[in-house]
Each structure stands twice: as C-alpha cells, then as structure tokens.
Amino acid sequence: MTEPLLPPIGMLAELTHRCPLQCPYCSNPLELLKANRELDTRTWLDLFSQAADLGVLQVHLSGGEPTLRRDLEQLIAALSSRGIYTNLITAGVGIAEGRIEAFAEAGLDHLQLSFQGARQPTTDRVANHSGSHEKKLKTAHRARAAGLPLTINAPIHRHNIEEVPEFIDLALSLGADRLEIANVQYAGWALANRDMLMPECGAIDRQADIVAAARERLAGIMNIDFVTPDYFATYPKPCMGGWARDALVVTPDGTVLPCHAAQTIPSLRFERFGAKPLADIWAASPAFNAFRGTEWMQEPCRSCERREIDWGGCRCQALAIVGDAAATDPVCIKSEAHARMAALVDETRRNVANAAGDEGFIYRRIGIVNDIA
C-alpha cells in the first residue's frame, strides 16, 4: 500500500554559497554558485509564501553564510508573519553590530552557531580564518543578550573529536539550550578531505560514551543531539526523515531538492522554483518520486522490518560507494556492500599514515574545484 503524500513540514533554505570560512568538511557541492545566480529578494519571498501555503512549519536559513544576504531581516520578517519557525544557521563571523538584534526584532526564533573546535587554535586552523573563534564567542553572547535560543553545532572529525568534553563545557558556558555533536558526513568538499577527517574507531567509542554520560548528567539543563558517523554504524539513518517524505531543500538558485546532496545523483533532473510552483514540484517531480516511500526498494530493504524506520537510508551514499542510488545503503549491516565501509576506514587510515598531518587539508578556496573534481 502506497503511503499517502503529506505536505513537507521543514525546509532548508540555502540562501547563498558565499562564506568567509574555508572549512575542509563543507558538504556543499564542489562547484559553488556565485552571487549573481542567487534568487533575488522577491523570488525568495514568493517561495516562502508558497511554502507556507503548502504546509511548511519551519525554515532553516543556511548557506554558505546566510548573514551575507543584505535582505535577511526582510526574509525573516516575511516568514515570521506567516507563523513559520525560523532557525538561522551561521558561522558567526563578520556579522555587523546591531544585526543580530535586528534579526530578533524581525521575528527570528532561534540561532544555530557552528564551532570548528572547542579551542581557539582548532577553530581558526580548521576554518582557515584567523580570529574566528573569538568572533563566534561574541556572536553567541550577542544572541543570548537579544533573547534568542541558541544551539551550538560541533562538526566532529579526527582533528577535534578529543575536544568533545570541551564542546559540552563550551555550550554550557555560553548558555546554549542545545548542543549538536554532528559527526561529519562525507559529501561535497568533505568527501575530498575524507582521509584527513576520518576519526579512529577508538575515538568514536570514547565519544559515544562521553555523550551518553553528558546526556544523563545534563537532562533538563541542555539537550544534546548526537549525529553518529555513518562509516561506523550498523544501520543507516533516515535521510532527511526519508527521501521527499517531510522536508525539502532549496539551493541558492532556487533548485528544489529532496536532500542536501541529491544533485550528486546524475540520473535525476531537479526543477527550479519559478518554472513550476513549489506544490507541483513537491507532489509531481519525477526526482522527488524516484525514492519516495518504499515501492522503489530492492531486497533486502523491500522486506525489511526497518524499511519504514530508515526509509532506505542515504541514496547519495549508496551511489557513491556501491555505484547504484537504488541499492541498500552500505551502512546497513544487511547490505552485501557493508564490508566496503570497514575497508574504506582502513584505506583512510593507511592514507593518513603516509600524509603530512594537518597540511593535508584541502581548504575550500575559490578556483581549485577543477583540481578536485
């Protein structure tokens, strides 16, 4: 029986690919969209209005760095006027005085701030941006002073995984309501840096124990979300809650996607907002329907008791590792390709042993994409 199509409740709005940082774990595409390809203010306002009509309840304003959009206050106000919950996802550097307060005045509901390290040298080195750690601390204090709920986002990899206890202390010291320990997922630029980012198995185990203990200790004080690393998992996570099931992504040029990395699947063609209404894309786009629900599944997914728990896992990961976007996510222990995950971990370990330490990072600089692709 086919599951009835429900409206999306969440949207990730990537307002721009521009960013002041050069993080080697960035999951944005290898080829970034320049400012002249971004949707203008009027089009974003139209898109958000249609999203509200469709049933979207929350919008995550992201990038790149969304505060580089001069119209961000106007976009927040428009969403707020329709009763949509807004979460600003920011690197927290280069935000002019008074803007955070203006975001709050416009109706912003929440601010999510990323830290590349719990220590200043780690943050500045990973972001390749001198002084970024101190700027982030100031942004956190300004957000709390403006009355905004705060999430600290900690993208975890080999170079900061031992700082997890300090991330917990940092989030507490900043008055955060929530801490997200988000192990890096290997897509986009992060895939190009996988060898330098992949943690050791022992560090993963220590991290899990630390997070479990902190969750128990801080229950009722601070929520801690833990995004486990796929390469060390037994079962996959549901991608975006399931492909085109309850959320969507819009890129800076208005391309509408069922997940952040969906454009890595070359057999799919994704439509842009404006050429078609958002509701039509959500309901009728062949790309959205390609992996929606369970009818598309192969065995062992098709008869698996977890098929409506993980919804097949990550289609982009299946393509990247197995070569077939419809294959069982190789993270799953039931996949014939599951052993490839362990083999990739071993391969990265060997590569790291022959690398030049941190100098092996490929930073996200403009103009080197052709060297990576």
> What CATH number should be reported for the domain holding residue 93?
3.20.20.70
Q: Which residues contact 192 (CB under 8 A, 6 or more apart)?
A: 24, 30, 362, 372
Residue ending a domain, choose from 188, 204, 232: 232
Does residue 5 belong to any structural domain of this protein?
Answer: no
Which domain covers residue 112, as residue numbers?
10-232
Query: Does residue 132 share a domain with residue 40?
Result: yes
Q: Could you report the per-residue pLDDT of 329-354, keeping only the tens digit for each?
A: 999 999 999 998 888 888 887 877 66
Q: Are residues 156 and 271 in the same domain?
A: no
Are residues 144 and 77 part of one domain?
A: yes
Which residues contribute to the annotated binding site for [4Fe-4S] cluster? 19, 23, 26
Judge if 55 and 197 occupy the same domain.
Answer: yes
183 and 51 both lie in a single domain:
yes
Whether residue 137 lies inside any domain: the answer is yes
Are 49 and 94 members of one domain? yes
Q: How many domains does the chain have?
A: 2
**pLDDT bracket for residue 154 (50, 70, 90):** very high
Per the domain annotation, does 364 fall within a domain? no
pLDDT in tens, 243-256: 999 999 999 999 99
SS3 content of the chain, % helix, strand, coil (to 5): 40, 15, 45
Tokens representing residue 101 in the block: 């307060």
pLDDT digits (tens, 9 = 90+) for 163-185: 999 999 999 999 999 999 999 98
Please tell me the predicted confidence (pLDDT) of residue 1. Answer: 43
Can you say how many angstroms the Cα of residue 337 is from the centroid of all Cα atoms in its chain? 25
pTM given for the model: 0.93
Closest CA to 173 of 202, 150, 148, 203: 150
Which residues are known binding-site members? Answer: 19, 23, 26
Both 216 and 333 in one domain: the answer is: no
Mean pLDDT value across the chain: 92
